[in-house]
Structure formats: structure tokens, C-alpha cells
Structure 1
Amino acid sequence: MPGGCSRGPAAGDGRLRLARLALVLLGWVSSSLTSSAPSTSSASFLASAVSAQPPLPGQCPQPCECSEAARTVKCVNRNLTEVPADLPHYVRNLFLTGNQLAVLPAGAFARRPPLAELAALNLSGSSLEAVCADAFEHLPSLRQLDLSHNPLVNLSAFAFSGSNASFSAPSPLVELMLNHIVPPDDERQNRSFEGMVAAALRAGQALRGLRRLELASNHFLYLPRDVLAQLPGLRHLDLRNNSLVSLTYVSFGNLTHLESLHLEDNALKVLHNGTLAELQSLPHVRVFLDNNPWVCDCQMADMVAWLKETEVVQGKARLTCAFPEKMRNRALLELNSSHLECDPILPPSLQTSYVFLGIVLALIGAIFLLVLYLNRKGIKKWMHNIRDACRDHMEGYHYRYEINADPRLTNLSSNSDV
């Protein structure tokens, strides 16, 4: 687990300036009071004091490469453990890829003066495990953020909105890349990864201006019901290369500006009527559905009919069946209702499971018969005892019946009782 979230150390530029001024004044006072010291020593002291200060704002941090003309700073593959404190104020494009940042604390980019022109921030592949609340505050022009290829164990729900989401201004983000941010299974802390990402996307309606969202290669099994509820301005949504088996619970109805929806390389088996109707209602959308294991049975009939009529799906002629075996590689557009049957044909893996279950039950049955055979004498004696007991009971009932049926025997029985 990464370290706790705290405010970034770079927020104290004002304190650095005060310390620098105090050091210079101290050198001037000491040189004035020490009349026996030569003037050269005072000058050398001041020179060393000034040279020992951090770089002035506008200078390039030592491990980075800067281009003021291109407004770009690159700190790539430098094994940095924190964001450089002395970033130039002119930076518009900042690359911090391939480092060892681990934690992005609150105020990680807060500076005085602020980085008011920073518009594109790339933090991909920097071993980030935690992004804290308010990590991107004081970046008023940030439009593009890339956090891809980081094993995020903790993505704060207020990472993009700020801890006072109900009062803070909307995020300026237009493009957000969160590709391949899934942590290892042993570091998920028994929490839903899908839920953690959804909470960060919907907190405080901060991302209402977001137009591009990339969530590829995250092993998503499902999409939470309201994950897209606060993203009405979304135009491009990339969900390719996940493990989505259904879109039943997620709603696309509010994404009226959506232009592209990438669902390639998932585990989708069929799209149901509710999803089909929502996609058809979006006026500008293009949907990509390649490389999904479509199951061509009777439940596919509505989707096949929809595919034949709609122009929403791009490359729909390439969509083919994966199951059942007899339909494998058949194009969906070539199917009709007579091809789509719900046969009791099971996938090979399920067939193997039933065969194994049959073998186990047969073995249990054989053991039971063997136990009966080994105890056959005791079982035979037990059955004889039951038979004799039943016979005695039946004879008693038969005797009573004969007495009750014959009046003479009844009277005789009554007199004998007397």
C-alpha cells in the first residue's frame, strides 16, 4: 500500500523565497559588522549564498528537458519520486512518464505563481498507486490528463473534483485517459475496482465537460449502473479490451453527443433490446463491436434483426458467431430466425463438467451397493424381523375384524368379559 495522501511539498515556493531573502540579508549584515574581514570574502560569501539557491521560476529543472518555444517540459524515465518543485511557469505540455512517483498527493502541482498555462499532463507508466483528493487543484487550464499504465490501488473519489465537490468549480478536463490502470489482484483491498473508478467519474458533477474517456484494458467485468450519469458532454468512449459480458445495467441514454463507442475485444454474447434501443436513439454515434464471442441462439434474433436495419454499427459485416459449435464463424448478417435455435447443446467445458459429475455419482452408487452387499445377512435378518412384526399386527387386526363381523362372537365376547 502506498503512502498516505498529503499536500505536495511543492506548494511552499513562497517559503523558499523568504528563506533566500533572509540568507542574503544575513550575509550583508555579517559583512557590515565584521570590519576586519576583507571585502573579497564578503563578496564570495554572497556569491556562494546566491548560487546555493534553487533555480528561479522559468528555469528548467535539472533532470528534465525544456523548450520554452514549444512550451514543453519532459521529465521522462528519470526515476523521479515526486513532481519537480521548480517547473517553469510557461509550461503548457508536461511529460512525467516512466518515473517512480508512487503517490500523487493533494496539491502536487500547486505553485506560486500557478501553472496557469498547463493544458496537457502525461503521467503514464509512472508506477502510481494512489491519486489523492485535490491532486490536480490549481491547474485552471488542464484539458488533457493521461494516467494510463499505472497500477492504481487507490483512486480518490475526489481526485478530479476536489474534496469540496459540491462547491468547487467544474474540472476543465476535456480528455481523460485511464487505460490499463487495474492493480494486481492481491492489492485490491477487497474493494470493487469498477466501483472505485465510477466514484471518481461521477463525484460532484465535476467532469460534465469531459468529451473523451478511455477505459481500455482494465479487466472490467461490468459497468456500474450510473458510471456515465454525470458525463453528458461525452463524445468518445473507449471500453475495448475489457471483460464485459453484458451492458444490461449501464445506460447510454443521456450521452446525446456521443460520437464513437468502442466495445471491441470484450466478452459480449448478445445485446438486449434495451441496449439496442438506447444506441439507436443516439443521433451521432458509431459503435464498434468486433472480436466478441457472440452466441447465436434464439436470444440473438432481435440483435440480428437490428443489425440488418441499423447503420450505427461500423464493420457489422465482420461480426461472426462463436457459439454454438455448428454456427462458429457464421456472419451475423447472414442469419435468419430458422438458424437461431435454443438447443440444449452445451459448451465443451460445461459438457466436461457434467461428465465428471456423472462419474462421481456412479462411484457413489457403486460404494452404496458394495455396502449393501457386505451387510446382506444383517439386512436380511432385519427385513425378516420387520416382516414378522407386520404379520403379528396383521393377524391381530384380522382377529378383531372377525369378532366384530360375527354377532354371536360379539355377544360371547361380551359375556366372557362379564
Structure 2
Amino acid sequence: MPGCCLWGSAPPAPSGERKGAGWLELLLLLLLILSGWVLTQQPVGCPRVCECFVEEKTVKCANQNLTEVPPDLPRDVQNLFLTGNRLRDLSSGAFPSEPLLELRNLSLRGNQLEQVGAEAFARLPNLKQLDLSQSALLWVSPMAFGNASSPLEELRLSNSLYNYSVVAAIAELLQRGIFQNLKHLDLSSNGLVSLPPGIFSRLPSLQHLDLHNNSLVSLRDVSFGALHQLQRFDLGDNALKRLRNDTLAQLRGLPWLTRLDLGRNAWVCDCGIEDLARWLKESDQVEAKEALKCSEPEEKQNSSLVSLPISGLECLEPDDDQTQLQTSYVFLGIVLALIGAIFLLVLYLNRKGIKKWMYNIRDACRDHMEGYHYRYEINADPRLTHLSSNSDV
């Protein structure tokens, strides 16, 4: 019938439309499969601002302006990178309440960290590598790792120590005896002029000590005798002028030390460097020892320390490394004493004027107090209530 198509089944669609619908269904199916694959790659429990890598058990939260450690970290994380954020203070509650038992490597590099409180890392009982480089540390608690012995093997504090008080705090932390497994200690680029005595006295497993790019002028009173496992010692780019015989004896007594960097220091080639020059000729511990050059005196500039004649070196400076520093202190004391004497002299010469000025102040205060006392008597005596409270004395 001609009108059956109006009330019966629809006529078959053209073959071109059927092909277009088929391609659309296939595209939708591929999108569903791809979205499901993407979801499976982002592990459950990964912080929203972080990248998580399941197979490597690694979490990266770099340059996210974080002000605190993300609380929803995966429990099985082994490597945690929180670099380039704004973590200023690490307290005992900085990390999740449940200990991260598998965390081995923690990087807080570039956070300008200022405070590390007690128990800050106590919830990381298996931490082996800690990077606090590029911080601005003002205080580190000696109890930052708690009371228990730490398994830490690598501690990086390059360009992190803001002042000498935090250096003393780091020394106290290292001297607690909890870092029996520490192998690598990086204190480079901190502007250190001197080191606290005994700072390395309880690090029996230390193998690599990095002190390069500081301002060390002397190693006097610093003991290296306990570093029996030390293999590499970097003292390059400092302000060392000479090494004394007692320091050389300690370095000579380290059985595993094979890589000692003394380059780019301000060596003064006078009679005080004889011990070092003699040791360099005999020892194989110093790296590139032929490149060590004299900076003073002028006639010996750029001369190799190894080629210096042991005898005949003139004594241009006092033999004590601390002499210049002590002289500066004495000079400062003399200047301060002179300023004090001038101040007392000025007071003495103006004693009459000062005495008169003090009497004037005393009389003014006395008159003022008498005025207050007079008004109080007027207000207290009912017979004088008719007088004005503003009457002049």
C-alpha cells in the first residue's frame, strides 16, 4: 500500500548513514577504553597536586607552592620529592600520623626551610637519604630524628646554614651518636669560617665528607681521627693558607682516604707551609696535587707546592693561624676603649652643665608634684569645695 510507510516500520537508512553511526560508536568505545587506562595509571590515594609512579613507588610534588607535607601520601611510598615548595617549618606533626615505613629517600631541596623541630623525622624510621639543600635554616633541633638510632646514610645540607648558631645545632645533632650509618655528609657552600670542635667525632661510617666552597681559614681544633672509613674529603675552594702538622698527622692516619681535594685555596708559601709541602711530596692521598699553587708571597705566586724547596722558605707571617684574628680582636678592643674614654672625658668636661640640667629637671618635677598635691588637698577638704579645681597654685 502506498501509505504503509507512514504507519508501519521506518524504511531502511541509507548505507552512508549506517557507516557514519558505526564509526561514531567505535570512537566512543576507544575513548572509554583510553579513559579507563588513564584512571588505572593514577594510583588510588595519590595527592591531587603530585605525580605518583606505582612501579617506582615514587611521589613527586615539585614546585606546587606547598606550605605543608601532603597528608594523603601513599603508605608504600619509597621516594618522596617535595622540591621547590614553601615549606618553612617542619614540626613533629609535619608528616602523616601513621609512619611511612617504606620511605627511603626524602628531598626537601629548595624550600627555604627555616625550622626543623623535635621529632620532625621520627615517623620516617627507615629514611636513608635526606636532602635539605638550598634552605635557610635558623634552627635544627638535636632531637629532630628522635631518640632512636637513625638508619640515615646520606645527609645533604649544601647552601642551607644561615648562621653559626645553626652550625652549632647541627654539630650537636651529629654528636648525639645516632648516625652510626651515615656515609655521605654534604656541608658545602655554607660560608663556614671555622668548624665546631668535635663535629665529626661520632660518625664512624662516614665515607664522603664535602666541605668545598666555604671560607675555612683553619682546621685547628677539628678532629678527623674518628673517621676511620673516610674515603673522599673535599676541601676545595676555601681560604686555607696552610695545614699544620697535627692536622696532617690525622689525615695521614686515615687508612681509606684516597681522594683529598685541596685545590683553589690561598696557600701562603712561607716557612709555615714546610709540613704541607713535605707531605705532598710523600703522599698519594691528594688529588691533582701538582695543581696546588702559591698565592703569596708575590715572587712565588702560581708556583707549585710540590716543587717548593723545603729549606730556605722565609717566614713572612707569624706561625700561628689565629694571630691575625687575635690582632683584629685586640685592635677592636682598643678602639672601643678609646671611644669609651672619650665619652667619659666629654661627660667630665660638661659636668657642671649636666649637674645644672639635672637640678632643673628635679625642680620641675618637684613643682609639678606640689601642684598635684595642692589640688588633692583642695578636693579633699569640704571647706574648700567653693574654690575652682583649676585654681592656679
TM, length-normalised to structure 1 = 0.64
Q: Are 1:74 and 1:95, in contact at CA under 8 Å, matched by a contact in 2?
A: yes
CA drift of 1:343 comes to 3.7
The aligned runs of 1:300-315 (5 Å cut-off) are 300-315=273-288
Q: Are 1:242 and 1:265, in contact at CA under 8 Å, matched by a contact in 2?
A: yes
* Counterpart for residue 386 of structure 1: none
CA drift of 1:96 comes to 0.2
The residue type equivalent to 1:256 in the other structure is H
* Counterpart for residue 153 of structure 1: 138
* Counterpart for residue 188 of structure 2: 216
The aligned runs of 1:320-339 (5 Å cut-off) are 320-339=293-312
Cα deviation 1:56-87 (Å, max 9, x = unaligned): x9511001110111110000000000000000
Q: Are 1:229 and 1:254, in contact at CA under 8 Å, matched by a contact in 2?
A: yes
Distance 1:198 1:330 in 2: 37
- 2:175 is paired with a residue whose SS is helix
Distance 1:344 1:240 in 2: 25
Cα deviation 1:241-283 (Å, max 9, x = unaligned): 0111111111111111100000000010000000111111111
- 1:200 is paired with a residue whose SS is helix
Distance 1:294 1:330 in 2: 10
Q: Are 1:58 and 1:90, in contact at CA under 8 Å, matched by a contact in 2?
A: no
The aligned runs of 1:342-357 (5 Å cut-off) are 342-343=315-316
CA drift of 1:339 comes to 4.8
The answer to whether 1:200 aligns with 2:173 is yes
* Counterpart for residue 178 of structure 1: 157
Distance 1:152 1:343 in 2: 40
* Counterpart for residue 115 of structure 1: 100
Distance 1:258 1:192 in 2: 27
Q: What is the aligned-residue RMSD (CA, Å)? A: 2.0
The answer to whether 1:101 aligns with 2:87 is yes
The residue type equivalent to 1:293 in the other structure is A
* Counterpart for residue 381 of structure 1: none
Q: Are 2:139 and 2:166, in contact at CA under 8 Å, matched by a contact in 1?
A: no
The answer to whether 1:261 aligns with 2:233 is yes
CA drift of 1:338 comes to 4.0
The residue type equivalent to 2:150 in the other structure is S
The answer to whether 1:92 aligns with 2:78 is yes
* Counterpart for residue 278 of structure 1: 250
| Percent identity over paired residues | 49
Distance 2:214 2:83 in 1: 24
Distance 2:138 2:71 in 1: 25
Per the alignment, do residues 101 and 343 of structure 1 end up closer, same or farther by CA in structure 2, a change over 3 Å counting? closer
CA drift of 1:337 comes to 2.8
Per the alignment, do residues 268 and 343 of structure 1 end up closer, same or farther by CA in structure 2, a change over 3 Å counting? closer
Cα deviation 1:269-307 (Å, max 9, x = unaligned): 000000111111111102110000000000111110110
Per the alignment, do residues 206 and 110 of structure 1 end up closer, same or farther by CA in structure 2, a change over 3 Å counting? farther
- Relative CO higher for 1 or 2, CA cutoff 8 Å, sep ≥ 6? 1
- 2:192 is paired with a residue whose SS is coil
The aligned runs of 1:343-382 (5 Å cut-off) are 343=316
- 1:261 is paired with a residue whose SS is strand
Structure 1 unaligned blocks of 5 or more: 1-56, 351-418
What is the aligned residue count? 278
Distance 2:56 2:128 in 1: 17
The residue type equivalent to 1:222 in the other structure is S
* Counterpart for residue 127 of structure 2: 142
TM, length-normalised to structure 2 = 0.68
- 2:306 is paired with a residue whose SS is helix
CA drift of 1:141 comes to 1.5
The residue type equivalent to 1:125 in the other structure is G
Query: Aligned to 1:76, which of 55, 62, 66?
Result: 62
- 1:335 is paired with a residue whose SS is coil
The residue type equivalent to 1:153 in the other structure is L
Query: Aligned to 1:290, which of 249, 263, 266?
Result: 263
* Counterpart for residue 31 of structure 1: none
Q: Are 2:137 and 2:166, in contact at CA under 8 Å, matched by a contact in 1?
A: no
Q: Are 1:58 and 1:89, in contact at CA under 8 Å, matched by a contact in 2?
A: no
- 2:299 is paired with a residue whose SS is helix
CA drift of 1:193 comes to 3.5
Cα deviation 1:109-140 (Å, max 9, x = unaligned): 2433x311100000010121101111011212
Q: Are 1:233 and 1:257, in contact at CA under 8 Å, matched by a contact in 2?
A: yes
